[in-house]
Chains A and B, each alone.
Chain A
Amino acid sequence: MTLTERLRRLDVTTVIMWIIGGLLLFFIVLGSIQSILKGTYTPAQWFDFFVFGISQGSIYALIALGYTMVYGILKMINFAHGEVFMMGALTTYFLADEMNRRGVFDDKGALGPTLLSTLFGLIVLFAVAIFISMTVAVLLERVAYRPLRGAPRLVPLITAIGASFFLQYTARGLYGSNNRSYPNVDLLKGTVTFGQFSIQVVQIVVAVTAIAMMIGLYLFVQRTKTGKAILAVAEDKQAAALMGIDVDRTIVITFALGGAMAGVAAILYAIMFRQAHFFMGFIPGIKAFTAAVLGGIGNIPGAMLGGLFLGIFESLGPTLFLDGLGINSPNQLKDVIAFTMLVLILIFRPTGIIGERLSEKKA
């Protein structure tokens, strides 16, 4: 096809879209160059933004796994997944608070701030949060989604939104609408410094735990028999049943795994931001959904990559792109940046970063 033919085939919408994309890209580059040249921020501060982005992004990624796995297997967006995360964090708060009062996390208690007691405390918190989020996710599937399997796709979607509100207000009814502040874990307070750069210990712990969980989940899905059954059911439920795979049970396992990841994310969020309330699932949930779309929904490594990418983008983006353009307090615009990215991805690359393989199959 010659160039002129190609030009003739372009329709107006495509041209306008590309112009918008081009302008955005131009301002991003311009803003970045100016921000860096202005030198308001030191390299150490840029590094801080980056590290914060990684740890926040890894929390998004963990939640995104729940969205992406459920989408992969049921072709449905579980909009109540943010509430699965919230339930884990908010319910576990009461245990965390009690443990804190008994001095598990600081030097007031009889146990002292030993590595052992902190480690034990955190492991218990993780276990409880995983259990609660898993239970909520499995109940959700059982009560809200399974009876609607085979219904038109809009129906479970609306149910998911309803379930999301149900869980939010159940949490408010049970635990009240206060903002609960999670205990400060003494041993996670410090920073690690090398040269002019420093990283908070809590950020290291968050990123390392999240990435370890993601690798574990990936290996589980790729290597174990149950994992392969999940992949088989995601691809063709009837053919999977003909292999002797119990499709319903496999779907429950998928929800449970997604719930477990949300439970881990809940505690990581809690030790990083030290707060929990009944509405806390909404924004991280939507962000994680964005991350899943960004990576290519239905794709597990995609969700991990998308989460990290979104976290870094959101953390560096406002300062890097907007500060140089003379926009005041750009950090308040970080959600704008995140969701602009969602829109752009949907327009220019609906398959996500590595969603190609999946979409080819479904085509």
Chain B
Amino acid sequence: MSKEEMLDMEARFERYVAAENKVEPKDWMPEKYRKTLIRQISQHAHSEVVGMLPEANWITRAPSLRRKVALLAKVQDEAGHGLYLYSAAETMGADRQDLIEDLLSGKAKYSSIFNYPTPTWADIGAIGWLVDGAAIANQVMLCRTSYGPYARAMVRICKEESFHQRQGYEIMMALAAGTPAQKKMAQDALNRWWWPSLMMFGPTDENSPNSALSMKWRIKRKSNDELRQEFIDKTVPQAEFIGLTVPDPDLKWNEERGHYDFGEIDWQEFYDVIAGNGKCNKQRLHARNVAHDNGRWVREAANAYAEKQAKRRKEESSAA
């Protein structure tokens, strides 16, 4: 293809997605669109997988059987979400093994939020309420993303995430209505998770150079700042309802804008955690590697079983 033809194809592609048409795996797409999406979808998948770690940590210590089955089901969902997403990335020609190896070696990124520790039970409530809440805001937008398989995975994920957020909020609600010590625990968790949750939406629009292209290609449908504002507007009344205080002295309803104004985010912290200096970066990566190694025998057993069955079928058909 000549350079002119390529530019013509790209222009046609842009008009196609701008008209709200979906792109399917075998359609022509700009190489950069493919690369951007493989990176984004695989990072998203890795986040689901690593996201299991801080929560799995609490399964054996959940305060009741009701909480325990809910947490187990949630963690199992996250594994499922990871699988839907790896599948979506594979439709673009990526190999899952390569993606997983990039995660295990530390080369690939995942959401920085999972590099924060979960020292108390209230953290499990805060993760469901805030972290899943922020993820949902992003994922609801991605249900309308231009790449068909990614959008379809998001629809499934959004349906399931809603339970995650509700179970988290219920945990916070129970603690906030509990003893003074329990309420303090809930407030402490909100204090620690609030700002990192706001950072989940990524840098401000003026510091997010890749966003413009993603918006043009309809991969993203809303900007980081728009999504962040939506999340804040939705979440502040939820905190007030259960008598918890959002840890931002500058937080104030702005009648004119119809939104909450909020304080400055500590972007240095955001970039530090991305650079690998969060409290749990090493621990998470180590735990993920150990889990992968510990699962090796299961994968090998599945292979051995499949081989044995294939051999048996062959013997039976030749005997018949």
Do A and B pair up? The answer is no
Task: Name A's B-contacting residues (CB within 8 A).
Answer: none
